[in-house]
Amino acid sequence: LQRLLDEKELMKNIKEPLNLDDATFFQNVSKFPIVLVDFWAPWCGPCRMMAPIIDQTGKDYQGKLVVGKLNVEENPLVARQLAISSIPTLILFKKGMAVSTIVGSVSKNRIDEMVKMHLE
């Protein structure tokens, strides 16, 4: 119970998306109960269009969900391990396990539906 309270308290203090990398990716997605990861690259137009939506999702669910971003160009190992072949890709991790994936540019409503389905 104390661990759960500590996780919730830690999540409340995260106000910006986490910048994830190959070295710490799995450690970070396992640290929090639920993490939405945006796999993107700077040259990807749809990724840039999705960025403000992803940021807003983090604000909307602050304390309930952590948002992370992984630049696949700078961090190809995790992208390869997770078989990311198109970007943007959003993967929702629950207790370190991938539970839902969205590939491509989508509406805020579609992201909200995915998140709400997995919130406890």
Question: Any idea which residues carry the catalytic annotation?
Answer: 44, 47
Cβ-Cβ contacts under 8 Å for 96 (sequence gap 6 or more) = 26, 29, 30
Contact 75, 25 (CB under 8 A): yes
Unique residue bearing structure tokens 């709400």: 116
Length of the chain, in residues: 120
